[in-house]
């Protein structure tokens, strides 16, 4: 709660006195129309990580600013938050990131980007973004190399410093804890302070049943008492405690192909809509009940 209030106050100072009222009106309009207030956007299927064992697609798709604008134009009311993130990708690899964030800025009350920080180029610190979230897999070079095959920690921290010197009201550093970095949370405060981040936190890595490099069983910090997973009788991870509801119930996901989905993790058997329209948004709003009931197969792995 404190982090949210701190972020809100910083954005208020940057966006002006009318910002809270506009945001409150949008929250109310989304609630009245029963639309999730947030939109997660995957701007590209490409990635800047270059991690061992995780090659990018041969022909990655990129979301065009025009298609994002069409989806937003057909939405019955503007979303409150627009968050650029990746599934097995990274927003910094998107060729149209500036245009996409400008489109989001015109249509949302808060714009944010989650990234691994690699490939942060000159000028990105001036993107119209309210909140940068940099996710690192380790707080030491040794842990980074064990996970990704190369030590690029300093490159990621340099990106944090660049973002903190720019326009964004909030720059956060998030340590995603894996087996190889299970001892790193205690180092995070010092690393975050040295990089100039405004805030920091540690979270545990999620199991990815698609078998991608990071989310596979061998990388999970299963020996850590705080880890949400344990091995089940079939040798696959299971949640120690079934969460109440869905952590992403308040948002929908637009992937790099321009397809609207319930969330990044629901799977190919979940519903989707491919053409922007008011009817598409109305159908998508109905998915919230399935998410809150954790009715999609992958929900049993999502903490």
pTM of the model: 0.93
CA distance 85 to 113: 6
Q: Is 223 found in the same domain as 128?
A: yes
Confidence of residue 214 (pLDDT cuts 50, 70, 90): confident
Q: Is 253 found in the same domain as 233?
A: no
Task: Give the model's pLDDT for residue 212.
Answer: 67
Whether 23 is covered by a domain: the verdict is yes
Confidence of residue 33 (pLDDT cuts 50, 70, 90): very high
CA distance 263 to 297: 12
CA distance 115 to 110: 17
Q: Is 283 found in the same domain as 185?
A: no
Task: Give the model's pLDDT for residue 144.
Answer: 92
Among the ranges given (13-17, 45-49, 167-171), the one the predictor scored with the smallest mean pLDDT? 13-17
Q: Is 220 found in the same domain as 128?
A: yes
Q: How many CB atoms lie within 10 A of CB 249?
A: 18
CA distance 202 to 191: 12
Whether 72 is covered by a domain: the verdict is yes
Task: Give the model's pLDDT for residue 243.
Answer: 84
Mean pLDDT of 187-207: 96
Mean pLDDT of 213-231: 91
Quote the mean pLDDT of the chain: 92
Q: Is 301 found in the same domain as 237?
A: no
Task: Give the model's pLDDT for residue 3.
Answer: 64
Task: Give the model's pLDDT for residue 195.
Answer: 96
Task: Give the model's pLDDT for residue 257.
Answer: 96
What is residue 134's three-state secondary structure?
strand
Q: Is 205 found in the same domain as 139?
A: yes
Task: Give the model's pLDDT for residue 12.
Answer: 81
Whether 96 is covered by a domain: the verdict is no
Q: Is 227 found in the same domain as 206?
A: yes
What does DSSP say about strands 38-41 and 199-204: parallel, antiparallel, or unpaired?
unpaired
Whether 93 is covered by a domain: the verdict is no
Q: What percent of the chain has pLDDT over 90?
A: 75
Q: Is 251 found in the same domain as 230?
A: no
Q: List, for residues 171-193, the tens digit of each pLDDT value.
A: 999 999 999 999 999 999 999 99
pLDDT at 163 over 70: yes
CA distance 119 to 90: 9
> How is residue 73 written in tokens?
């134009």
E-strand stretches of 198-280: 199-204, 229-231, 237-239, 251-254, 260-261
pLDDT at 240 over 70: yes
CA distance 148 to 78: 38
Domain count, the chain: 3
Is there a contact between 47 and 90 (Cβ–Cβ < 8 Å)? yes
Task: Give the model's pLDDT for residue 78.
Answer: 95
Mean pLDDT of 159-176: 94
Q: List, for residues 79-88, the tens digit of each pLDDT value.
A: 999 999 998 8
pLDDT at 211 over 80: no
pLDDT at 1 over 70: no
Confidence of residue 62 (pLDDT cuts 50, 70, 90): very high
> How is residue 4 written in tokens?
């949210």
Q: Please identify, among 191, 209, 241, the residue that sits at the C-terminal boundary of a domain.
A: 241
For the ranges 95-109, 137-151, 198-212, the one whose mean pLDDT is highest: 95-109
Whether 95 is covered by a domain: the verdict is no
- Measured in whole angstroms, the distance separating CA 25 from the mean position of its chain's CA atoms is 25
Is there a contact between 89 and 60 (Cβ–Cβ < 8 Å)? yes
Whether 101 is covered by a domain: the verdict is no
pLDDT at 258 over 80: yes
Whether 84 is covered by a domain: the verdict is no
Q: Is 171 found in the same domain as 284?
A: no
* CA distances from residue 283 to 34, 287, 291 in whole angstroms, order as listed: 11, 7, 14
Q: Is 226 found in the same domain as 131?
A: yes
> Which domain, by its residues, includes 281?
37-47+61-78+246-303
Is there a contact between 89 and 65 (Cβ–Cβ < 8 Å)? no
Residue in 115, 63, 123 with CA at minimum distance from that of residue 92 = 115
Question: Which residues does residue 170 pair with via DSSP β-bridges, in sequence order?
Answer: 131
Q: List, for residues 103-132, the tens digit of each pLDDT value.
A: 999 999 999 999 999 999 999 999 999 999
Q: Is 295 found in the same domain as 230?
A: no
Q: What percent of the chain has pLDDT over 70?
A: 97
Q: Is 154 found in the same domain as 115?
A: yes
Q: Give the full edge-to-edge strand order of the sheet including 199-204.
A: 199-204, 170-177, 131-136, 110-115, 81-84, 38-41, 251-254, 260-261
Task: Give the model's pLDDT for residue 279.
Answer: 96
- Give 40's contacts (C-beta < 8 A, 6+ positions apart): 83, 84, 85, 248, 251, 252, 253, 254, 263, 264
Whether 89 is covered by a domain: the verdict is no
Number of helices (H), then strands (E), belonging to the chain: the values are 9, 10
């Amino acid at each position: 709660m404190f982090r949210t209030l701190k972020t809100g106050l910083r954005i208020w100072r940057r966006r002006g006195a009318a910002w809270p009222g506009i945001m409150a009106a949008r929250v109310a309009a989304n609630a009245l129309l029963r639309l999730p207030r947030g939109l997660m956007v995957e701007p590209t299927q490409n990635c800047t990580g270059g991690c061992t064992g995780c090659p990018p697609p041969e022909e990655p798709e990129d979301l065009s600013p025009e298609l994002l604008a069409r989806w937003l134009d057909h939405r019955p009311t503007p979303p409150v938050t627009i968050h650029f993130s990746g599934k097995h990708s990274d927003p910094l690899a998107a060729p149209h990131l500036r245009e996409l964030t400008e489109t989001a800025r015109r249509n949302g009350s808060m714009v944010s980007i989650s990234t691994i920080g690699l490939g942060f180029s000159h000028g990105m610190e001036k993107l119209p973004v309210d909140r940068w979230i940099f996710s690192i897999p380790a707080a030491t070079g040794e842990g980074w190399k064990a996970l990704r095959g190369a030590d690029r920690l300093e490159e990621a921290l340099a990106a944090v410093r660049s973002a903190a010197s720019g326009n964004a009201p909030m720059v956060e550093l998030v340590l995603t804890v894996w087996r190889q970095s299970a001892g790193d949370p205690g180092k995070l405060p010092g690393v975050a302070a040295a990089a100039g981040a405004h805030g920091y936190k540690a979270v545990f890595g999620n199991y990815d049943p698609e078998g991608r490099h990071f989310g596979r069983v061998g990388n999970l910090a299963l020996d850590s008492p705080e880890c949400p997973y344990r091995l089940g009788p079939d040798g696959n991870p299971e949640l120690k405690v079934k969460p109440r509801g869905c952590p992403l119930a308040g948002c929908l996901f637009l992937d790099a192909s321009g397809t609207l989905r319930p969330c990044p993790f629901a799977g190919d058997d979940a519903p989707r809509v491919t053409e922007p329209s008011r009817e598409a948004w109305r159908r998508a709003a109905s998915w919230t009940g399935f998410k809150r009931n954790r009715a999609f197969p992958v929900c049993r792995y999502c903490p």
